[in-house]
Amino acid sequence: MDFEACRRAFLTRDPRFDGRIFGAVRTTGIYCRPICPARTPKAENMTFYPTAAACQEAGYRPCLRCRPESSPDLGAWRGTSNTVSRALALIEAGAMDAGDVDALASRLGVGERQLRRLFRQHLGASPVAVAQTRRVLLAKQLIQETLLPMGEVALASGFGSVRRFNETFQQLFGRPPGALRRSRAEEASAAAAGITVRLPYRAPYDWAAMIGFLAARAIPGVESVTARRYARTLSVDGALGVVTVSPGAGNFLVAEIRFPKVQALPAVIARIRRVFDLTADPALIGDHLSQDPALASLVAARPGLRAPGAWDGFELAVRAILGQQITVTAARGLAAKLVEAYGARVDDPFAASLGLTRAFATPDQLVGQDIAALGMPKARGAALEALARTVASDPTIFTPRADLESAIAALKALPGVGEWTAQYIALRELREPDAFPQADIGLLRGMADEAGVRPSPAELLERAEAWRPWRAYAAQHLWAADADQPSKTTDAKTGEAKRTKTDADHQRAA
């Protein structure tokens, strides 16, 4: 944290540093974003921190004007410490709500002291402080952006009790949480009316590419996609709900969430942020990938391209297995049959108005079923049933591991999952920024030389070493460019290129 550089960012209110640094003021006890409209304090009164959690652990409270909870949550340190990245993903999914640092460290395959040291080094705060800050800032956002009753805000933001919620806000802000609500309008129940939250990101954001990716894979009855809105049913801890996501008027997405259990809200928001890749820093990633001339033009053409995530690991694995050796359209058709046969029915007028009638089948719903009867090879149906049985016995299979290699090894042990599928699941579900399915036909074609000669998977893997730790984003750029290229033959063997294009579609049918 270079003091003069941070100070200049605050003096100029430079939006490029929003989410990267936070400034704390000793005389007021408040911390702010670089874009705060308030008068910049004297230099001798300021201290700078890399995260909001570090500010709060140092005893500062968030500014009510610039609202640090609405700043983009950037993972600029990702790649420097993938262990911290994986730990934050687990914390955002609620790992610290019912566990402790030791349990979190065990899930990541590191010692508790090592995890604490890494958090101090890269975030300037402890895992407990990060989890507490996450709860406080989410609660503050819900107070100021929704009309949820305070009791529901406490539950929805992960506080164990309303008393603890009130004590935390009284201690942090010197006032009860209700005093932070600007409007005294009648409070509404989230279960009855749903809530709407803004989820910020670092611009630019290629919404067209994201919505196009999701639309091509949308399962009828489960997902509904238009040019300006994505909607789907979702199951969290046995509760069924509906989420819709659309682009906002600024650098944020607007999510409308309708769930019968407000306690599910943090997990739902975490999934939305994961699927739409809202923590990415496109400038950081683009600058690194652009050092390779083969990728520079692709990055320049799509500076806001993201790597779409997955809503659920089991769902993604099922989609990937269904898509083996068939087209994207055929895979969608099989997924729709599977959902219609085994997925839970969603009886909600709002969902019905969007064309949403089913939730994706859970592992328990597929155990013991003759899935091949839906119209697929018996071996594939058996693989899906075996996958469901395995995941039902161990629901933690699709959670981050100690490193990418151990995650791939664990995924490849699943029925029907090979190297390509494992890398794909790691990329979309585990959010591994360095996952890279090097044998993908589309990637090989995207790296062909001027004569049309493609590298071998081993050669591509060696070339991709320079792209670390952002190989997943390099793959996304190559896939996007490949999708824009029409199929064409390159020699007298007519149809060869067309077959290759279809193979690439098969591999990406998930």
User: 55 an active-site residue?
Assistant: no
Cα(87)–Cα(85) distance, integer angstroms: 5
Going by C-alpha positions, the residue among 67, 23, 64, 62 that lies closest to residue 45 is 23
Residue in 28, 30, 37, 50 with CA at minimum distance from that of residue 10: 37
Number of H helices, E strands in the chain: 24, 9
Contact 172, 183 (CB under 8 A): no
**Distance between CA 163 and CA 140 in Å, rounded?**
16
Q: Is 440 one of the annotated active-site residues of the chain? A: yes
Q: Specify burial of residue 220 (Cβ count, 10 A radius: 0-12, 13-18, 19+).
A: middle
Q: CA–CA separation, 245 vs 226, rounded Å?
A: 11
Cα–Cα dist 337/387, whole Å:
18
Q: What angle do CA 480, 485, 487 make, to 5 degrees?
A: 130
Catalytic residue among 73, 277, 281, 440: 440
Distance between CA 408 and CA 152 in Å, rounded? 39
d(CA 290, CA 271): 29
Which residue among the candidates 6, 32, 55, 66 is catalytic per the annotation? 32
What's the length of the chain? 510
Query: What is the Cα–Cα distance from 270 to 305, expressed in whole angstroms?
Result: 20
| Helix, strand, coil percentages, rounded to 5, for the chain | 50, 10, 40
- Phi and psi torsions of 52, nearest 5°: -65, -35
Helix, strand, or coil here: 296? helix
HEC assignment per residue over 39-80: CCCCHHHEEEECCHHHHHHCCCEECCCCCHHHCCCCCCCCCC
Q: With contact defined as beta carbons under 8 Å apart, do 426 and 331 qualify?
A: no
Give the relative orientation of helices 471-484 and 282-289 as an angle to the nearest 10 degrees.
Answer: 80
Query: Could you give phi then psi for residue 435, rounded to 5 degrees?
Result: -60, 140
Beta bridge partners of 199: 253
C-alpha to C-alpha distance for 241 and 418, rounded to whole angstroms: 32
CA dihedral 26→27→30→32, nearest 10 degrees, is -80
Provide the token pair at 170.
Answer: 């009284």
Beta-carbon contacts of residue 73 (< 8 Å; ≥ 6 apart)? 19, 200, 273, 278, 279
Catalytic residue positions, numbered: 32, 440
